[in-house]
Amino acid sequence: MYAAGLLIACSCLISESYQRAPFPEQEKDPTFWNTWAQKTLKNALTLQTLNTNKAKNVILFLGDGMGVPTVTATRILKGQLSGHYGEETQLEMDKFPFVSLAKTYNTDAQVPDSAGTATAYLCGVKANEGTLGVSAAAVRSQCNTTKGNEVTSILKWAKDAGKSVGIVTTTRVNHATPSAAYAHCVDRDWYSDNEMPAEALMHGCKDIARQLFENIPNIDVIMGGGRKFMYPQNTSDVEYPTQPKMSGTRKDGRNLVQEWIDKMKDKKGNYVWNKQQLLSLNPNNVDYLLGLFEPSELAYELERNNDSDPSLTEMVDVAIKVLKKNQNGFYLLVEGGRIDHGHHEGKAKLALYDAVEMDRAIGRADLLTSIHETLTVVTADHSHVFTFGGYTLRGNSIFGLAPKVSDADQKPFTAISYGNGPGYKIVNGGRENISTVNYESSHYQAQAAVPLLSETHGGDDVAVFAKGPMAHLLHGIHEQNYIPHVMAYAACIGQNQNHCMSSGGTVGLQPAFSSMASVLAVTRFLW
């Protein structure tokens, strides 16, 4: 009887909170919407003048697991954190003039993983799930299928063209996304030789951490986590010396960090492992930077130690300042990697706060670069089975309740839910009554339809936002592997160089296209 009364009271409170006018008074006036639309139309008309400059710089922001529902929820959260309703807020990526969709499937998977997708949007070739920097002819975990099936990434194309290159991530630097930029590996889990089977080592396959330092010499900026994979087994971590699980993992006895330090000692190379060291650097005196801030992944943004751990925005700020000194320009890969991890745990709050931080980093990059010479692309590798609904009213907390209880089990539910994952709970034969839990907690696991220890990726298309030189080439719906080809074309690197003009700073048509136009013109004249 008490529980029923509590539920009725809860329902009344929910209903009462939704009886207030949930939107600004000005929005009742049609003039408000007409003026806004006309302003948007005026801006859209300016896009007819396309930016065909040569891209001196190229930046790819990758929100791991940042599907379209995550983008929308991030927008609402960003606005609500600033005291607004949220829905009307603009993300930095929302301001990009060109938006398209990318199909994310792997060659062997309808719903993809982060390794196969990374190979697509970095190397321009679709691949099997779990494999990095190799074609679909390579078989996951079979070392002997690596040789001859290697494919190179846009990071290498840029480095070969004389540009500075960098990788910034909130995951370990040898995690799936960054690894495809430099590694050729048939198993994304071969972080160090400790994680590799004896057969793979015997056949000469290299672990991913080792490939980071050996495959593409002198990557200019590397920042993220993953310290323990660089040190010999049982080497105590500098930050967590009493925690064995944070200690080094390498069986070959190599200290990859020290090897890097020794190699770069006369090349203005700097190794840092905490925020204070990073922010004390003068980028003008740094040509090479290695920053490893955690033994494994960096902390979620909501749990980050602001005194000792740099934010993604701070890392991006330093990275660009180091890279932009190169007169030939730069290529930078930035990953908001823990968006994905938050979703896998069913903890939407952790995921969305990390997405807000990545959007903040996008804004910082905008201030440090020019749209006239920098092509910036924001996308995701894949989506998640994350959604929000329930007919919530305007301004409802993105982590809040739907306005009415379920008409099936008469229990409240949050707007956010997952198609599967660890949030599935049965209590007394039915769905858990979340009025008894703190659903606004950072570690609240949103309810899921199917019980799984880890929530899965989604198979839906992801958005691709683009601005800068040749950004209009990212339009419509494309295969995910199309993305690096556009970026390379705009920057005149890799296989996309024949069309580049030697002067004037613009990108022209390929000679083959011009020749074909001439042939058609002559044919028409003769006809």
Positions marked catalytic: 114
The residues that bridge with 415 in the sheet, in sequence order, are none
The candidate with the shortest Cα–Cα distance to 180, out of 448, 484, 408, 414, is: 484
Report the sign of the C-alpha dihedral through residues 404, 409, 413, 415, in that order. Answer: negative
How far apart are the C-alpha atoms of 166 and 460, rounded to whole Å?
29
Q: Are strands 374-379 and 462-467 parallel, antiparallel or unpaired?
A: antiparallel
**Rounded CA gap, 202 and 143, in Å?**
9
Torsion over CA: 368, 372, 375, 377 (sign): positive
Residue 472, marked binder: no
Q: Output b/e per residue, 304-340; b: 16+ Cβ within 10 A.
A: beeeebbbbbbbbbbbbbbbbebeebbbbbbbbbbbb
184 is in an annotated binding site: no
Nearest by Cα to 257 from 241, 238, 279: 238
Please check if 335 is assigned to a binding site: yes
Annotation-wise, does 64 bind a ligand? yes
Query: Does 344 count as an annotated binding residue?
Result: yes
Q: What number of other Cβ atoms are within 10 A of residue 103's Cβ?
A: 17
Total residues found in the chain within this entry: 527
| The token pair that represents 442 in the structure block | 């950072």
C-alpha to C-alpha distances, 122 to 196, 242, 391, nearest whole angstrom: 24, 38, 39
Tell me the sheet residues that pair with 101. 463, 477
Q: Give, in order, the Cα–Cα distances in Å from 314 to each of 79, 297, 302, 335, 350.
A: 21, 17, 15, 13, 19
Rounded-to-integer distance, Cα 87 and Cα 374, Å: 29
Binding residues for Mg(2+): 64, 175, 177, 335, 344
Residue ranges of the annotated binding site are 64, 175, 177, 335, 340, 344, 381-382, 457
Which residues line the annotated binding site for Zn(2+)?
Answer: 64, 340, 381-382, 457
